């Protein structure tokens, strides 16, 4: 099963299926609420420095009726420096972004709002490398001509999202039943997110696109002194 950012298989890496069933019982939507809450909480820490749409991509299950294909290039051009098209590797952004370069984003939406160049199917993530419709990844004949298996999610963020989601689920239980390991993993995730937010750590996550002459840094100094006579 695919949630917003995590999958059921991801959660099974941190808890057994029986334990998860006991936590939610006949209310499986509680997992979706806990996962959505954990992603929103992580975005509060990371949103000032990183591109949240690219860091937490929302990928849908593969559907035979959808059109899939590689993401289109984003052209960064100017009149003085015309851009020469050229694809960049996944998550590789120009640092700093300058006129005359191009960038291929890790995701792109079609007019219907569907994610067109990634899909989740039968427990695996796939990236579209050629236009296709009805080509089932991992199954269809010559599917490798249209798809490449690739998980676009950062492994560290995925692991922490699992820990935070499970902690949110365990919070429904009496405090003595949460367990020290669950609390420890949550605190470790919070500490890492705090260090990233404060600039002490700089993980390789996708940054927002901005021109080279734009900066979040504070500029120090002043203009040369001027003598004014009256």
- Which one, of 225, 160, 228, lies nearest residue 194 by Cα? 160
Where is mean pLDDT largest: 37-46, 83-92, 113-122? 37-46
Say what the pLDDT of residue 104 is: 57
Q: Is residue 130 part of a domain?
A: no
Query: How many domains does the chain contain in total?
Result: 1
Q: Is residue 9 part of a domain?
A: yes
Average pLDDT over residues 176-190: 87
Where is mean pLDDT largest: 61-70, 195-204, 218-227? 195-204
Q: Band the pLDDT of 16: cuts 50, 70, 90.
A: confident
110 pLDDT exceeds 60? no
Q: Band the pLDDT of 105: cuts 50, 70, 90.
A: low
Whether this model's pTM surpasses 0.75 = no
Q: Is residue 31 part of a domain?
A: yes
Q: Is residue 135 part of a domain?
A: no
Tell me the C-alpha distance between 89 and 216, whole Å.
Answer: 25
196 pLDDT exceeds 90? yes
Q: Is residue 80 part of a domain?
A: no
Average pLDDT over residues 38-65: 90
Q: Is residue 96 part of a domain?
A: no
155 pLDDT exceeds 60? yes
Question: pLDDT: is 213 or 66 the higher one?
Answer: 66
Q: Is residue 10 part of a domain?
A: yes
Give the domain range for residue 32: 1-56+153-206
Q: Is residue 132 part of a domain?
A: no
With vertex at residue 70, the alpha carbon angle to CA 96 and CA 130, rounded to the nearest 5 degrees, is: 145
């Amino acid at each position: 099963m695919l949630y917003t950012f995590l999958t059921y298989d991801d959660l099974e890496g941190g808890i057994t299926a029986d334990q998860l069933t006991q936590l939610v019982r006949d209310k499986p939507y509680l997992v979706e609420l806990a996962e959505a809450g954990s992603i929103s909480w992580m975005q509060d820490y990371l949103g000032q420095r990183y591109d949240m749409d690219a860091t937490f991509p929302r990928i849908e299950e593969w559907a035979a009726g959808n059109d899939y294909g590689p993401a289109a290039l984003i052209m960064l051009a100017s009149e003085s420096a015309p851009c020469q098209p050229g694809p960049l590797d996944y998550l590789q952004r120009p640092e700093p972004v300058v006129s005359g370069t191009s960038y291929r984003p890790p995701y792109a939406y079609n007019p219907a709002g569907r994610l067109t160049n990634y899909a989740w199917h039968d427990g695996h993530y796939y990236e579209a490398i050629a236009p296709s419709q009805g080509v089932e990844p991992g199954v269809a004949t010559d599917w490798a001509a249209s798809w490449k298996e690739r998980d676009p999610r950062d492994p560290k963020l995925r692991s922490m999202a699992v820990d935070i989601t499970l902690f949110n689920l365990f919070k429904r239980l009496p405090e003595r039943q949460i367990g020290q390991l669950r609390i420890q993993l949550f605190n470790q995730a919070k500490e890492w997110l705090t260090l990233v937010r404060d600039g002490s750590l700089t993980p390789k996550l996708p940054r927002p696109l901005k021109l080279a002459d734009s900066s979040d840094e504070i500029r120090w100094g002043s203009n040369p002194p001027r003598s004014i006579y009256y």
